A = this chain, B = another copy of it.
Amino acid sequence: MNVSPPAPTAAAATTTAPPAAAAAPRERLLEAAALLFYREGVHVGVEALCRAAGVSKRSMYQLFTSKDEVLAASLERAALTYGEALIPREDDRPPRARILHIFEQLESLSHSPAYRGCPLVATAVELKDPEHPASKVARRFKDMLTDHFHQEARRAGVPDPEQLARQLTVVFDGSSVRAVVQAQPLHGLAVTTATTLLEAAGLRQEA
Contacts and interface: CB of A to CB of B under 8 A. Distances in A.
B41 A181 contact: no
Contacts of A122: 125
A117 interface: yes
Interface stretch (A11-19, A86-94, A172-180): A172-180
Interface stretch (A24-32, A59-67, A149-157, A194-202): A194-202
Q: Count identical subunits in the complex.
A: 2
A46 interface: no
A196 B189 contact: no
B177 A135 contact: no
A81 interface: no
Contacts of A197: 193, 196-197
Contact of A174 (B41, B139, B175): B175
A142 B130 CA distance: 25
Interface in A97-147: 116-117, 120-122, 124-126, 128, 130, 135, 138-139, 142
Nearest to A184: B130
A128 B173 contact: no
Interface stretch (A50-58, A72-80, A161-169): A161-169
